[in-house]
Amino acid sequence: MIGVGHSRFGERQDVNVKELAFEAVKEALNDAGLTPKDIQYMCLGSIGVWYEEPLPAVAVAEYCGLSGAGLMRVEAACATGSAAVYSAYTTVASGFTDLALVVGVEKMREVDTFTAVELMGRAGSYMWEFENFGLTFPGYYALYATAHMNRFGSTEEDLALVAVKAHKYGAMNPLAHFQKEITVEDVLSSYVVAWPLKLYDCCPISDGSAAIVLASEDKVRELKIDTPVWIAGIGASSGTGTLAYRSDFIGLDATVKASRNAYKMANIEPKDIDVATVHDCFTIAEILAYEDLGFCGKGEGHKLVREGQTEIGGKIPVNVDGGLKAKGHPIGATGVSMIVELTKQLREEVKPTSRQAPMKNYIALAHNVGGTGHYCYVTILKR
């Protein structure tokens, strides 16, 4: 990766989807020292069900001056951004192109909250569970939260601590949707969405974009880029759409499989990782991620957050950009945003420096889930 860009996340009624994408594209191209005409392939991550351009790739490419480049859109529900990075990665790694651009963008606040929740609910297995039983994603993750609490003794306070950590770092991140700190009491007293998940256990519905320029090894040398960050491994897996087919509700198989494949490809172990971004669409999701990624043993995730081990200064800083919970979750942008953040972490250029994780091995991990483990992408970065 030789260039990264990131818009402000949040309510973005000030721009249309093309303008929103352009904010990140412009910054990424400037960061790489390139112009739109240098890009041979562009991969857009967007589920695009909310707005006037239902098939947004052409419109975005035209607005960003990229017409002529090879072009496609990818979708993997909430893991769309990481799937787009994967696609651009294989495009370069296969020798097809030397320079590829990934753009993740979503403008979800074009619709109201109820419509957004309904559209997202259809990302599972619509015809069976959603249509017949009416579960939407807060409900799905509530099933996982209650199973984890029942089996391992995690509590509502543990879940709240995940949100408090997210807001602590979100408050330091000028690009975050929410930039204010909250307390455990704030979380516990917010209204119940699907017990035990309360409003402050849920990520917001956000607008936003992120972009990355990927280059081949030859191109990195040719351009004399001195701060490249490399993709050392990617793992991808999927789970059943129908939750009734899952063997248990205490972890996501797709995360386990995707992460083991990524570790193997990068030839690293979880303990080698300096900083991580994990998919915390709901607070319980972050606790499951700790366990499924191997940051701790099964059933110990809530202890990591209790002990502050996933803050800066702890064993493994996680979501020190605010995570989906406070930074926001514009679906197609999220996975790309995670890798933009980690690239800046690995370059040690995060500002304010209170948000910069200490680097030992210069290895970072991004974990992006679609649905309730319907998809998972794990990406390992190395400087």
| Residues labelled catalytic | 78, 329
* Of 57-65, 109-117, 222-230, 332-340: span binding its own copies (CB under 8 A): 57-65
Position 253 contacts its own copies (CB under 8 A)? yes
Position 379 contacts its own copies (CB under 8 A)? no
Can you give the length of the chain in residues?
383
CA distance 34 to 149: 50
Asked, as a colleague might, if the bond just before 358 is cis with ω within 30 of 0, I would say no
Q: Which of residues 111-150 bind its own copies (CB under 8 A)?
A: 119, 122-127, 131
Among 12, 198, 355, 374, binds its own copies (CB under 8 A): 374
- Angle at which helices 283-292 and 156-170 cross, to 10°: 100
Position 71 contacts its own copies (CB under 8 A)? yes
Position 68 contacts its own copies (CB under 8 A)? yes
In the complex, what is the shortest distance from the CB of residue 246 to its own copies, in angstroms, rounded to a whole number? 10
CA distance 355 to 341: 11
SS (H, E, C) 152-169: HCCCHHHHHHHHHHHHHH
Among 13, 30, 35, 90, binds its own copies (CB under 8 A): 90
Among 30, 35, 37, 62, binds its own copies (CB under 8 A): 62
Return phi, psi of residue 107, to 5°: -125, 80
Position 105 contacts its own copies (CB under 8 A)? no
* Of 7-15, 49-57, 151-159, 356-364: span binding its own copies (CB under 8 A): 49-57
Position 16 contacts its own copies (CB under 8 A)? yes
Return phi, psi of residue 233, to 5°: -165, 145
Coil, helix or strand for 92?
helix
Position 75 contacts its own copies (CB under 8 A)? yes
Residue that the structure tokens 């063997």 belong to: 247
Position 217 contacts its own copies (CB under 8 A)? no
CA distance 245 to 362: 39
Position 267 contacts its own copies (CB under 8 A)? no
